[in-house]
Amino acid sequence: MATVTIPENVNVFLLDIEGTTTPITFVKEVLFPYIKEHLEEYLGAHWEEDECKQDVQLLKKQTEEDLKQNRACPVHAVDQTVHTDEEKAIREVVDSVLWHMDADRKTTALKQLQGHMWRAAYVSGKIKGEVYQDVVPAIRRWREYGLKVYIYSSGSIEAQKLLFGYSVEGNLLDASSNLAAFFLLLFDGHFDTNIGAKVESKSYQKIAERIGCSPEDIMFLTDVTREAKAAEDAGVNVAVVVRPGNMELTEEERKYYTTITTFSQLELTGRV
């Protein structure tokens, strides 16, 4: 297994989730089916609550934006009339959400609703966040060397925290203040699409600004080459993560990008 030396100037890791820290199958075969199965029931139970109203509002705004941009969107989502028939209104939101999920849209609106829906499943223990076995030991090692570690996923920050907080390896967000617990703390922070889309270069510039470093100080790990390209265009170092079930890279991409199959390939040579 070839090792990859992290440039000495890099002092921040930025990690994608799906296909990088976490198997794609967990997202596609556990998280997304949960939404599809419980959507109608969830909307019925929470329809009158502020959080749910805001989620529905954001979905409607997204539809308006899609229409403005001439993007394809389901005809039923175009209907902006205020329904007196709650069941019909819920049905329309369900159809719209399912349509967006089938297209694997990464919009903030969709991701915000999904995050809220997963909360009950994680808290009740119905779902546990999957994390590849090489991830936690590698992050602990990086942190011992004083590097910072951030998450950047299309999943909402709330969904990210649920996944790591209720993971197969326990609560990976434990933030108690004693020294021993400090080493248990894995992440310095989280970013989602509120900072911008992962395929847009300026999102990575904004992340660097927010962290207070320059893009060259960051190493971004992702399974998606469009994201790797956007990060690289911003001056961020990238490595493409090749995990079982991830999208196959083209021969050209395999030649061009530094690739890893496990985080344990990453070496911090020359650091004390």
Ligand X SMILES: CSCCC(=O)C(=O)COP(=O)(O)O
77, interface contact from Mg ion, ligand X, none, CB < 5-8 Å by kind: none
Residue among 253, 252, 207, 201 at smallest CA distance from 231: 201
Question: From the CB of residue 177, how many other CB atoms can be counted at a distance below 10 Å?
Answer: 7
Strand partners, 247: none
Binding mask of the shown chain, residues 92 to 121, with x at each position contacting ligand X by CB under 6 A: --------------x----x--x-------
Angle made by CA atoms 65, 69, 70, in degrees to the nearest 5:
115
Query: Which range binds ligand X by CB under 6 A, 86-94, 138-146, 151-159, 262-270?
Result: 151-159
Which range of residues in 70-78, 148-156, 181-189, 209-217 is near ligand X by CB under 6 A?
148-156
- 16 interacts with Mg ion by CB under 5 A: yes
Are the C-beta atoms of residues 200 and 232 closer than 8 Å to each other? no
- Does position 153 interact with ligand X (CB under 6 A)? The reply is yes
**Residues of this chain, 54-83, that bind Mg ion according to CB under 5 A:** none
154 lies in the binding site for ligand X (CB under 6 A) = yes
18 interacts with ligand X by CB under 6 A: yes
Whichever of 114 and 205 has its CB closer to ligand X, that residue is: 114
Q: Which is nearer to Mg ion, 161 or 243 (CB)?
A: 243
Q: Measured between alpha carbons, how far is 36 from 17 in angstroms, rounded to an integer? A: 21
Exactly one of 19, 74, 155, 215 binds Mg ion (CB under 5 A); that residue is 19
Regarding 192 and contact with Mg ion (CB under 5 A), the answer is: no
The residue among 17 and 266 lying less far from ligand X, judged by its C-beta, is 17
SS3 210: helix
The site partner of 239 among Mg ion, ligand X, none (C-beta below 5 to 8 Å per kind) is: none
**Least distance between Mg ion and beta carbon 246 (Å):** 8
Q: What is the largest CA-CA distance in the chain?
A: 67
Determine the interface stretch with ligand X among 139-147, 159-167, 183-191, 235-243 (rule: CB under 6 A).
159-167
Q: How far is the CB of 106 from ligand X (least distance, A)?
A: 6
The residue with its CB nearest to ligand X is 155
- Tell me if 158 contacts ligand X by CB under 6 A: no
Encoding tokens for residue 238? 């990238």
Contacts of residue 100, defined as CB under 8 A and 6 or more positions apart, other chains included, come to 107, 110
- DSSP, collapsed to helix, strand or coil, labels residue 178 as coil
CB neighbour list of residue 172: distance below 8 Å, 6 or more residues apart: 131, 136, 164, 165, 184, 186, 187
Q: Is 104 annotated as a binding residue?
A: no
Handedness of CA 243, 249, 255, 258 (dihedral sign): negative
Neighbour-count burial of 172, counting CB atoms closer than 10 A to its CB (0-12 exposed, 13-18 middle, 19+ buried): buried
Binding residues vs ligand X (CB under 6 A): 16-19, 27, 31, 106, 111, 114, 153-155, 159-160, 163, 198
